[in-house]
Chain A
Amino acid sequence: MNATVAQLTARSLLGGRRVILLITLPGVLVLLAIIARGLAGQDNDVAVGVLSGFALATLVPLLGLIAGTGAIGPEIDDGSIIYLLSKPLSRFSIATTKVVVAVAVISVFAAVPTLLAGLILTGASNLAVAFALGALVAGAAYGALFVLLAVMTRHAVVIGLLYALIWETLVGSYVPGARALSIRQWALAVTEKALGRRAGDLNVESAVSLGVGIAFLLIVIVGCTWFAGSRLRSLRLTSDE
């Protein structure tokens, strides 16, 4: 961790036009919660549909993508990363800082709105807290994964999209085995546990058990951060097509 790198990263994430997206997306979730509450009243099934189908499935991966790739991608894109890499800092600490800032941004812009949407939909209940917790851990894993992708390839955003939207949504719904390899399912295991016995009634069911889910989440977060640092040690700057 390095405070200056953290400050620079936060400024580049929140300073430009990217922040418009970071604010709009959670705004849409809250708006959707208000519409759903207006249409259906206080309905737990509707709440689970919105929080699981929309917040966890769409909002968190998209915010993870925007914040994760945005934490390091633009610097690699325009080549200014060499000024950072030429400083006497461990590449691992640079990668760790980038991941931490990205995860913090995702937490603020994804987990907090998920909590808010849950509260709007169901009033004070552990449903909102459980899904916010799921959004938090999923956001951390997506953040680390997408920082790594941004270090590894220029097409990070497109590849990240293919994973987050197509692998987890399309392939996951047809191929049962693919569901075990999905950040969303691991996060859902945390949500399921936080809901306790109500999970069965609410139809919140993860493809993996809690232990497996947490283990995979930790492996992804730590592994991606470490690998991103290791790739930064031998980064090759290539020109834009």
Chain B
Amino acid sequence: MSTPADYGRARPGRNQGVIHDLGYRHYDGPRLGRAVITRALFVESAKGAYGLGRSARSKVMPMILLAAMCLPAIIIAIVTVVTKADAPSYTAYLLNTELLVMVYVAGQAPASVSRDLRFRVISLYFSRPIRRIDYVAAKYAAMAVALLVFMVLPLTILFAGALLAKLPIGDQVPNYLRSLAGAVLLALVLAGIGLVIAALTPRRGLGVAAVIAVLAMLAGVQAAVQAIADDQGRDTFAGYAGLISPFTIVDGVQSALLGADTVLPAQPPGIAGGLVFLLAALLIVAGTFGALLMRYRKVSI
């Protein structure tokens, strides 16, 4: 390898260099800038989370998971239509299917960020006019939107089933709206957690395992601690044990602040407890966004 100094010595006439005019044309048109690049990155990442615009092989997993996520909702909706009985529980749906949501975010968060790091495409992104915060915001928003679609679709199927069964609409809409609010919050929280963990490793496989390990561990610990505390009659502790897992944080917000029914053995005590849960969720969103910004100050792996 020759260093720049060697290079200079080897060619004594270095100052006589000429830039040849090869006749290439200039580009004088409008340059679209940050906002457009960010939007393109957002759209491509959000589509990519379902394999749209990618190879058929990368569509398989997200689509299977989406189908698995909707299947229980379709069955419940059909049962509702046939029997005309018993309104479906919108707000408990995401808690009951939390494993599928975990697997989806674990599969797609690394697919969204790990490969940019592994193939060093990230340096190319940052050589364009976008700033670090644009990249982070685009990826975060894309993951959150993809997760939102993943969760809202089955909830809407449930709602459609209830409407088709001509259940009293006044009973259905508030619960459906509560569950939508929960889905938005959950999508933001999970997207943040998934992306922060995935952005730490260039290996997709390890990223998938790390995200699922963290989420499944938190859910497992949460269930165990809450069950034991509830068993021992420590109601306040059991209520706050919901803070351990993102899914139960959102359930706590739904039940304590929005008045939804919960399937958990304990819920946060009163409005104050609900506000603590909401604060925890917002802190996770802000914290993970900040952590991602810190992560991308340097692009080295």
Interface centre among B106, B209, B210, B227, by most chain A C-beta atoms within 10 angstroms, is B209
Q: Residue A77 contacts which of B200, B203, B209 (CB distance < 8 angstroms)? A: B203
- CB neighbors of B among A90-106 (8 A): none
Total count of chain A residues near the partner, CB < 8 A: 41
Are A32 and B221 in touch, CB under 8 angstroms?
yes
- A85 interfacial contact with B, CB 8 Å: no
- A165 interfacial contact with B, CB 8 Å: yes
Tell me the smallest distance from the CB of B154 to a CB of chain A, in Å: 15
Tell me the smallest distance from the CB of A136 to a CB of chain B, in Å: 20
Are A58 and B209 in touch, CB under 8 angstroms?
no
Are B61 and A21 in touch, CB under 8 angstroms?
no
Are A158 and B208 in touch, CB under 8 angstroms?
yes
- B54 interfacial contact with A, CB 8 Å: yes
Contact A54-B55, Cβ < 8 Å, known A21-B209, A39-B229, A158-B103: no
Tell me the smallest distance from the CB of A12 to a CB of chain B, in Å: 11
Contact A156-B221, Cβ < 8 Å, known A21-B213, A66-B213, A241-B55: no
Q: Residue B103 contacts which of A35, A150, A161, A240 (CB distance < 8 angstroms)? A: A161
B interface, how many residues as a size bin?
35 or more
Are B99 and A169 in touch, CB under 8 angstroms?
yes
Are A161 and B206 in touch, CB under 8 angstroms?
no
Q: Residue B209 contacts which of A46, A49, A66, A166 (CB distance < 8 angstroms)? A: A66
Q: How far is the CA of A157 from the CA of B205 in the complex (A)?
A: 6
Are A54 and B221 in touch, CB under 8 angstroms?
yes
Task: Find chain B residues with CB under 8 A from A50 CB.
Answer: 224
- B225 interfacial contact with A, CB 8 Å: yes
Task: Find chain A residues with CB under 8 A from B203 CB.
Answer: 74, 77
Are B224 and A53 in touch, CB under 8 angstroms?
yes
Are A161 and B106 in touch, CB under 8 angstroms?
yes
Task: Find chain B residues with CB under 8 A from A158 CB.
Answer: 61, 103, 106-107, 208
Are A17 and B200 in touch, CB under 8 angstroms?
yes
Q: How far is the CA of A150 from the CA of B208 in the complex (A)?
A: 13
Are A58 and B216 in touch, CB under 8 angstroms?
yes
Interface string of B98-131 (1 = CB under 8 A from A): 0110110011000000010000000000000000
- A233 interfacial contact with B, CB 8 Å: no
Are B103 and A162 in touch, CB under 8 angstroms?
yes
Task: Find chain A residues with CB under 8 A from B217 CB.
Answer: 25, 28, 58-59, 62
Q: Can you name the residue of chain A whose Cβ is closest to the Cβ of B200?
A: A17
Are A165 and B103 in touch, CB under 8 angstroms?
yes
Interface string of A134-149 (1 = CB under 8 A from B): 0000000000000000
